[in-house]
A and B are shown apart, each in its own frame.
Chain A
């Protein structure tokens, strides 16, 4: 059970996408934590965890996400999860994890949100 993390950054919109592939468990959590931390430290307005290819998550992984979410909120940014598989969703549900964490069911919702956010930002400028 391995984890691959793919990161893509949109500097202009201040959006970071972190795609998880594989299983986020006790073994893989530490290295993931490192990578996630490096992204969150950069203080993007929104960091999206794309879980399309995430097959497994245990409490160890959740803790990592928790920590990152806390950090983001304190910094005034957002941490969001997208494309969660049903059993991953179930785990989040059971733990009632991060109730105010934004969740996107699919890419379309995510894109719409991002666009709305951009427009809002542009409107504010």
Chain B
């Protein structure tokens, strides 16, 4: 799910929205915060100002009353009763005033104690006391002295009044002066009005700023007049209110307040969290610093609330949005997921898996449509493929059966080994495709004769196979006629020519071996001449051929004969061997076959045969077999005679050359002498015979004996006659060779030919006979 579109969308969109909201909210917060702070400030200022002005009003009232009294006393002289009454009235009618006193200057009174009546509120009634009574020397008290000293109305620092009210109070003292005629001033009395600190306190406690904020009032000297903690009252503010860390701030603000400035400064909160602020301004009337101490956090509570609300709203919005995105995206990708699942099912092979239904024309719908079409096409393609494959499988089955049938037409089913007393025969066919056009056959009609054949139908594959079957069955038909290979060939040719509109043809080698005489009679219809391995040397049989079978009626097929010997190995094959191609388009060729055949000299027939097949395969490499390959090997058991001789006598007449040449040709063929060597030896013998004819002085009836001897590596010709002793190598006239025509001598060339074309020459005269012998080597040069 981590990589699904849904979660991607959710994450991405939520992040974006979070960022946007975050930025917006931050900006809004900044502005709002400033607004709120401003509001808070204004509110707090207002609150403070309200209380302060109330306080000021009250104090101002007190001052006013006292000043009035003082003025009155300045103007008139009152008697003591009058003064008392005056004082009493003032106290009684002004609840604000705790008590009032008129303290006459004792120097002006008749009593040394002076006269200082004092009226005050106590327990709801007006009480009276005269400071003079108690011998207190009231003129030494601060409330009298300070006023007298300053000459102006002053507020006296707070104190505990033992004499009178027995409470903490502060007093407004106004000195009263009388002026004599010359304008000299003399102190008459000090008029006082007392304000209870508790009253002040009551006023101040209306100051609320935040839940735990409280008001504070400090006298000019720094004595705390009112604060939250009762034990702080009457102590110096530095002692009671400030911590050592804040003392500088306090002092600064206090002094500023004394000057009339308003200051807000942060202080350490007494036993509270967060920051606290102290706000000090001044009571105008008295010049006392008055202020409020509050917790910023509490005051900023609205702001905090606002922040919290905003955060919650923001978070809520994000969550809702994530939810909405998730839902929408799910709905969009739902079909895609279903499609993916359906394709998984289809991939397992079940092409009938249902595809999701989808409405609309959006991209996903289009995808589903395409998918549906593809599924449909796939189904039809696969069913077509199934039909084709089934067809091919059936065909392959038929071909496999065909291969079996074809191979069963051949003796021993395509690879044969026949070991008899007088021969061993091995044969193998390997078609290029399932079936092919090569064939072999061998059989014995009677004990003494072995019939063998190798054939090659044109082309390969099924057509060739059918023609091959036709050929094989006709060959069976003419089994006995093949006793004379040419006859059989002709019959077979005519049979195959019939109805052969396609002009298929087959080359065929058919041989009949007389097992007693080892004479091989054979006919070849355009077939490659077999190779013979004799005495370790491979040669190719010479043959006269007729045309390939099946093309034209009534064709002649010459008979060839050849004498096999003990130790011979005959190889009959089709051109699939010599025409086997390798990667470089080179052909295997006759030479390689003959070399390989020669190399198989010591091997048993089967391994010789498989060895030749392997040699061809190794040559071809991975090039596919291009033609059917057939090989038949015939071994004549026994040790080959190392030498054999034939000889004949001829009359020494004028036709002796032709006669001898003819006999030589036959003999050479029988002995499978290479035709070129044969021709040279014929030439040699012609020259020798010419010499004998010319110089031996023999009558036509005389006989010349010619002997041919073959050994493993050489051939020897011997000529013997009873003529005059004549050694052509000595006595003969040799011409100088190489001279130009004019000086060349005609004659004497024969001896040259003899010496050049043979390896050894010898002459002997034995018992009145000339014995001339020449040798020629047979081994490969």
Contacts and interface: CB of A to CB of B under 8 A. Distances in A.
B53 interface: no
B753 interface: yes
A42 interface: no
Given A63-B746, A96-B738, A99-B740, A26 B752 contact: no
Interface in A1-25: 1, 25
Contacts of B679: 55-56, 87
A62 B749 contact: yes
B246 interface: no
Contacts of B682: 56
A27 interface: yes
B683 A1 contact: no
A23 to B, nearest CB: 8
B750 interface: yes
A27 to B, nearest CB: 5
A95 B686 contact: no
A69 interface: yes
Contacts of A106: none
A35 interface: no
Interface in A65-100: 66-67, 69-70, 73-74, 87, 91, 94-100
Contacts of B742: 70, 73-74
A31 interface: no
Residue among B680, B737, B744, B747 having the largest count of chain A Cβ atoms under 10 Å: B744
Given A91-B683, A95-B737, A58 B753 contact: yes
A78 to B, nearest CB: 11
Interface in B730-781: 737-738, 740-742, 744, 746-747, 749-750, 752-753, 756-757
Given A58-B687, A100-B740, A25 B661 contact: yes
B665 to A, nearest CB: 9
Contacts of B756: 94-95
A97 B744 CA distance: 9
B651 to A, nearest CB: 15
B654 to A, nearest CB: 8
Contacts of A95: 737, 749, 752-753, 756
Nearest to A88: B679
A57 B750 CA distance: 11
Contacts of B683: 56-58, 91
Contacts of A97: 744, 749
Contacts of A27: 654-655, 657-658
Nearest to B740: A100
Contacts of A116: none
B328 to A, nearest CB: 92
A94 B740 contact: no
A119 interface: no
Interface string B686-709: 110110000000000000000000
Contacts of B686: 25-26, 58, 60
Given A58-B686, A59-B749, A95-B749, A25 B744 contact: no
Contacts of A57: 683
Contacts of B690: 26, 58-60
Contacts of A98: 741, 744
A71 B148 CA distance: 189
Contacts, number: 74
B362 interface: no
A67 B348 CA distance: 97
Interface string A26-45: 11000000000000000000
A60 B680 CA distance: 15
Nearest to B755: A94
A63 B658 contact: no
A10 B655 CA distance: 36
Contacts of A66: 741, 744, 746
Interface in A90-115: 91, 94-101
A63 B203 CA distance: 171
A122 to B, nearest CB: 28
A78 B747 CA distance: 22
B741 A101 contact: yes
Given A25-B661, A25-B686, A87-B680, A96 B746 contact: no
A25 B690 CA distance: 10
Nearest to A98: B741
Nearest to A26: B657
A7 B756 CA distance: 33
B231 interface: no
Nearest to B737: A96
Contacts of B591: none
A91 B753 contact: yes
A67 B747 CA distance: 10
B750 to A, nearest CB: 4
Given A25-B661, A95-B737, A87 B676 contact: yes
B741 A94 contact: no
Given A25-B657, A27-B657, A94-B757, A73 B749 contact: no
A101 B679 CA distance: 24
Contacts of B658: 1, 25, 27
A115 B443 CA distance: 62
Interface string B536-579: 00000000000000000000000000000000000000000000
A40 to B, nearest CB: 13
Contacts of A63: 746-747, 749
Interface string B665-676: 000000000001
Nearest to B753: A59
Residue among B680, B686, B747 having the largest count of chain A Cβ atoms under 10 Å: B686
Nearest to B693: A26
Contacts of B657: 25-27
B698 to A, nearest CB: 16
Contacts of B747: 63
Contacts of B746: 63, 66-67
Q: Which 9 A-B pairs have the closest CB atoms?
A: A96-B738, A59-B750, A59-B749, A94-B756, A96-B737, A26-B657, A58-B686, A63-B746, A70-B741
Given A27-B657, A58-B750, 12 more contacts: A56-B679, A56-B682, A57-B683, A59-B690, A59-B749, A62-B749, A66-B744, A67-B746, A73-B741, A95-B752, A95-B753, A97-B744
Interface of A: 1, 25-27, 55-60, 62-63, 66-67, 69-70, 73-74, 87, 91, 94-101
Interface of B: 654-655, 657-658, 661-662, 676, 679-680, 682-683, 686-687, 689-690, 737-738, 740-742, 744, 746-747, 749-750, 752-753, 756-757
19 contacts: A1-B661, A26-B689, A27-B654, A27-B655, A56-B679, A56-B683, A58-B683, A58-B687, A58-B750, A59-B749, A59-B752, A60-B690, A70-B741, A87-B679, A94-B752, A94-B756, A94-B757, A97-B749, A100-B741
